[in-house]
Structure 1
Amino acid sequence: MRAPTFVLALVLSCPSAWATATEVLRIGNGPEPETLDPHRVEGVSAGNIVRDLFEGLTAVGDDGAPVPAAAESWSVGADGLRYRFRLRDDLRWSNGDPLVAADFVRGLRRSVAPSTGSHFARMLEPIRNAAAIIDGRLPADTLGVHAPDAQTLEIELEAPNPTLPALLAHPCAFPLHADNAAASTTAFARPGRLISNGAYRLADWVVQSHVALVRNEHYRDPAAIARVHYVVTEDIHAELQRFRAGELDITAEIPPLQAERIRRELPGALRVAPYLGVYYYGLNLTRPPFAGAPQLRRALSMVIDRELLVQKVLHGLGLPAYGFVPPKTAGHVPQTPAWSAWPLARRIEEARRLYRQAGYGQDRPLQVEIRYNTHETHRRIATVVAAMWKQTLGVQTRLVNEEFKVFLHHRRLRRDTQVFRAAWMADFNDPMSFLGILHSAHGKNDSGWVDADFDAHLAVAAASVDGERRAEALAAAERRVLEDVPVIPLYVYVSKHLVAPRVRGWRDHPLDYHYSKDLTLADSQEGRG
């Protein structure tokens, strides 16, 4: 619920009371995390926590490129098909057990095993036999990963793939302790049971309140901050109030309606930066009205005034999106539909023609629902888009708001959706991180889109050693998305956080990754160790 105006005004006018006596970093983290199982993580809020709890062979550097993490170095064979990773000396789990290369083998095998239900298993398809394992044609122990000794991990690929080191920074490639592997898939990722290898370990999890982490004293370089609390903050106005009251050190975002006031009153705390993420509407192509109706899908996309959305709803905190891959993505050749350069009046005229061609009109208006998870910005965007569809085409739209976990469940089932709010944040700085989720077999393809040409373009890109040929294949794949419209891109994200003055070491990041181990608190009384 939005805060009353007088309460918000009072909070904004009072000086901040940054807490100075604690050793706790308090981070606003958006919706309740769906799981802390690294191989089953799905949402951004869960990913933020899991990157503090675990560490992969690589991590993501300040520029979005992979950097050494649990692996101190790696090399690739002359044919590009075999990678060898050398682990750091004396790596340990949070319970003190030695961490060895076999733990990474165990984690990678679990990610691709169909029984795990990983939504990101397809990210690992470059590894030999991964696709066949995911499809149930081979057992998980045939995956092309081997540990010839405790500190060496070898990975064999189906074809040369220079993005492998970047992929291995994702939670789907995190290691797994043998004791957790023996537990059920739902039981081990809980306080007192989860054994992790990152800078923090799991201390507490209060549903719809917070997840508490404490410093892992067995980590190779113990974090400066002793405790981190990830706080559930679905109400962005309440999150702002808590930040101004000194109850949060970092916010997940800011209320767009307050953007100008925040810029004016908290200029030193507001951090806005480019961010590789796209906000879009997914269309359920497995059932009417969108199955077999590309003209209808294109018409709905054409009449959305993205510039108006960004300026009036987001107050400039975003960029209009006509392509699916953000323009600043490394190695990306931006693609946009031809109609994106037309005047809006011409777009509306063509959209009405397509709408009639699809069998709809004033006497038979399209009746459709937009489903979104609880969040004021999602509600406002849905309201504005519905109004645009109504005014230009006569579409009758019903808005359906759901709690995040319920919303994700319905999206995956598809039977219960027509148009659904979605977003994708890059897992690595490459167009494949975006386009890959639309592959017909990808676990995040919630539209149910199946397109042989698109899949073929991705296959060419995956097998291409030549950078130019790979870029051409990815561009062709994106053009196919824009032609068939399984999704409607709306805007490209910028990251927008409030960061308290006592937080030191914050760096803007293209993937919006912020490892708590890299931060310090100015009023900290405790040192490392």
Structure 2
Amino acid sequence: MNRRGAVALLLALGAACAVLPGCGQPAAPAAASELRRGNGSEPDSLDPQLARTESALTILRDTYEGLVSLAPDGNPAPGAAESWSMSDDGRRYTFRLRPAARWSNGDPVVAADFVFAWRRLVDPATASQYALMLEPVVNAVAIANGRAAPAALGVTAPDDATLIVELEQPAAWFPALLSHPSTFPVHRPTLAARGTDFSRAGVAVTNGAYVPAAWQIGAYIVARRNPLYRDAARVAIATVRYVHVADPLAELARFRAGELDVTWTTPPGQLARLQQEWPGQLYVTPQLGVHYYGLALDQPPFAGAPALRRALALAVDREWLVAQVLGDGEQPAFGWVPPGVADYAPQAFDWVDWPRARQLAEARELYAAAGYDAEHPLALELRYGRNPVQERVALAVTAMWQEALGVRTALRAEDFRVLRQAIDVRQVPLFRGSWLGDYNDAYSFLQVLRGGFGINLPRYASPEYDAALAAANAAPAGERPELLAAAERRLLADVPLIPLYFTTAKHLVAARVQGWYGNVMNVTYSRDLALR
């Protein structure tokens, strides 16, 4: 990007930010027994098998508990299961549930609760976007694709305290997968009695440290301590209020006014100032997450247009983006799997080491080969969530496309739910997306783009890619990383999306909060915190 373009872009970014809220309402008094967590956008659901947004998953991790939890360092730890063992061939896991585990109404948590929830997850009638989360389990894929009944899932409960899981092939990462909320149990009697209302705040019966008590749409969700939680004696905070603030500037204003104890994130470009303003209260940690622009491969102009997709990917100056637009420790993303994933060397586009001039020359050649030029420029509409960070990135990237190629892009910011619904019904060729690892393994990222996977938003369908993933998961542990890397290289060659940057987790934490920790999964359970 030349100097004139950079200056114009920064002026545009400054103008966009100038209209955003920068001050909060009068401070609400801080209750000694209530933790007030900024929680981003409105959650989409509190049903463990249906929730998709990170804001929903954060609440579910506090209110339910799966077989496996996460330790403060982000590694798997016992949850509802006190222990587990693996067979010699790696195809069978046996989980032993904690005798003290109870639902919030006093019912015991039993192995059959997990059998029911997992069958519900893979059942096509549930229509869960995470149906293939249990892909390693015997018959999970066949059930999700309608070729077998849910009862055929390879999970059994020989008694109340024992759950046996049969896998299609060894999967050393399987316990880590079970920390994801989609695998959490649900209370069968409440679901039977209340139907889809079973997960509603004030109705839900949960097995976690907290129980959802109230949901004020557009404002907050309140959860209260569950006195029957299996480790209730260690839960110090009585109430958690999850405050919905999608705008980081508005959230910062509320934190500064004393209305929040923890922020969901921080505004872009303010890290150094915030470190000075709140020394010791700003937590910045690497996170297994990637931000990208999705290209709908079943819609024009991207269907059957690999040259155009590659041209747009080449035209993005990621180094400039993270340094000048974001500036908060993010890393440029030249691949899909982020650094920091266990036992994996992330891959990159084959042009990553080219000089910038060569990248731009290649982008222009491909753009012309795709049938576009100055007289017939590509016209796009980029849709993204209503958020100042996404706004800044959109202005920057579309300016790069305009300058390098002559692409004309209309910007459309909208509510996340509206955007996601439009993507689901195939009305959005170009959209902003992000993916945070569900567990610490490269497959958590690569699986998302498998053909038929419910959250494969670009609708990428490559038999070669799917076969490479299948081969990786069937291979001995020592061979698996390279086979996964081969799959990622196939993905990057096809360019079903444009990776932009790898994220960091940034939270401001009030001095009265004790016990906050950071990890690559960006998970800090409210049950582990205390208030001064």
Distance 1:442 1:62 in 2: 30
Give the match for residue 454 of structure 1: 465
**Which amino acid in structure 2 is aligned with residue 257 of structure 1?**
G
1:72 aligns with 2:66: no
Give the match for residue 197 of structure 1: 207
Distance 2:96 2:123 in 1: 25
Answer yes or no: is the 8 Å Cα contact 1:66–1:169 preserved in 2. yes
Answer yes or no: is the 8 Å Cα contact 2:381–2:410 preserved in 1. yes
Is the partner of 1:398 in helix, strand or coil? strand
Aligned-residue CA RMSD (Å): 1.9
Alignment of 1:61-460 (within 5 A): 61-183=71-193, 186-222=196-232, 223-414=235-426, 416-460=427-471
Aligned residues: 516
Is the partner of 1:256 in helix, strand or coil? coil
TM-score (norm 2): 0.94
Answer yes or no: is the 8 Å Cα contact 1:2–1:235 preserved in 2. no
1:21 CA displacement: 4.2
Give the match for residue 527 of structure 1: none
Is the partner of 2:302 in helix, strand or coil? coil
Is the partner of 1:276 in helix, strand or coil? strand
Is the partner of 2:215 in helix, strand or coil? strand
Distance 2:202 2:151 in 1: 29
1:485 aligns with 2:495: yes
TM-aligned CA distance change 1:424 to 1:209, over 3 Å: same
Distance 1:2 1:362 in 2: 28
Distance 1:472 1:17 in 2: 53
1:307-355 per-residue CA deviation (whole Å, 9 max, x = no partner) reads 1111111123311110100021111122112211112111110100000
Distance 1:493 1:221 in 2: 33
Is the partner of 1:317 in helix, strand or coil? coil
1:49 CA displacement: 0.3
1:452 CA displacement: 0.7
**Which amino acid in structure 2 is aligned with residue 90 of structure 1?**
A
Distance 2:518 2:175 in 1: 22
1:82 CA displacement: 1.1
1:181 CA displacement: 3.2
Is the partner of 1:496 in helix, strand or coil? strand
1:180 CA displacement: 3.1
Which residue, out of 466, 490, 496, partners 2:506?
496
1:463 aligns with 2:482: no
Answer yes or no: is the 8 Å Cα contact 1:3–1:237 preserved in 2. no
TM-aligned CA distance change 1:2 to 1:188, over 3 Å: farther
Distance 1:72 1:507 in 2: 23
TM-aligned CA distance change 1:6 to 1:310, over 3 Å: closer
Distance 2:513 2:194 in 1: 38
1:19 CA displacement: 4.9
1:376 CA displacement: 0.4
Is the partner of 1:186 in helix, strand or coil? helix
Is the partner of 2:175 in helix, strand or coil? helix
1:469-528 per-residue CA deviation (whole Å, 9 max, x = no partner) reads 111110001001110100111000000110001111111111101110011111xxxxxx
| % identical equivalent positions | 49
**Which amino acid in structure 2 is aligned with residue 417 of structure 1?**
V
Answer yes or no: is the 8 Å Cα contact 1:64–1:511 preserved in 2. yes
1:123 CA displacement: 1.4
1:257 CA displacement: 3.5
Is the partner of 2:270 in helix, strand or coil? helix
Answer yes or no: is the 8 Å Cα contact 1:18–1:500 preserved in 2. no
Answer yes or no: is the 8 Å Cα contact 2:65–2:208 preserved in 1. yes
TM-aligned CA distance change 1:436 to 1:181, over 3 Å: same
Give the match for residue 25 of structure 1: 35
Distance 2:74 2:488 in 1: 22
1:72-96 per-residue CA deviation (whole Å, 9 max, x = no partner) reads 0001111211110000112110111
TM-aligned CA distance change 1:7 to 1:81, over 3 Å: closer
1:441-477 per-residue CA deviation (whole Å, 9 max, x = no partner) reads 111101011001100011011212x223111110001
1:260 CA displacement: 2.8
Is the partner of 1:240 in helix, strand or coil? helix
Distance 1:213 1:517 in 2: 12
Give the match for residue 36 of structure 1: 46
Distance 1:334 1:476 in 2: 10
TM-aligned CA distance change 1:122 to 1:185, over 3 Å: farther
**Which amino acid in structure 2 is aligned with residue 364 of structure 1?**
H
TM-aligned CA distance change 1:293 to 1:194, over 3 Å: same
Give the match for residue 8 of structure 2: none
TM-aligned CA distance change 1:26 to 1:484, over 3 Å: same
Distance 1:279 1:3 in 2: 20
Alignment of 1:507-526 (within 5 A): 507-522=517-532
1:4-48 per-residue CA deviation (whole Å, 9 max, x = no partner) reads 79984x88xxxx989554311000011000000000110110000
Is the partner of 1:203 in helix, strand or coil? strand
**Which amino acid in structure 2 is aligned with residue 143 of structure 1?**
L
Distance 2:20 2:202 in 1: 43
Distance 1:81 1:183 in 2: 36
1:188 CA displacement: 1.4
Q: Which moved more, 1:19-28 or 1:105-114?
A: 19-28
Distance 1:6 1:282 in 2: 26
Q: Which moved more, 1:256-265 or 1:383-392?
A: 256-265
Is the partner of 2:125 in helix, strand or coil? helix
Q: Please, which runs of 5 or more residues in structure 2 have no aligned partner? A: 1-14
Distance 1:333 1:6 in 2: 40
Answer yes or no: is the 8 Å Cα contact 2:68–2:78 preserved in 1. yes
Q: Please, which runs of 5 or more residues in structure 1 have no aligned partner? A: 523-529
1:263 CA displacement: 2.0
1:364 CA displacement: 1.0
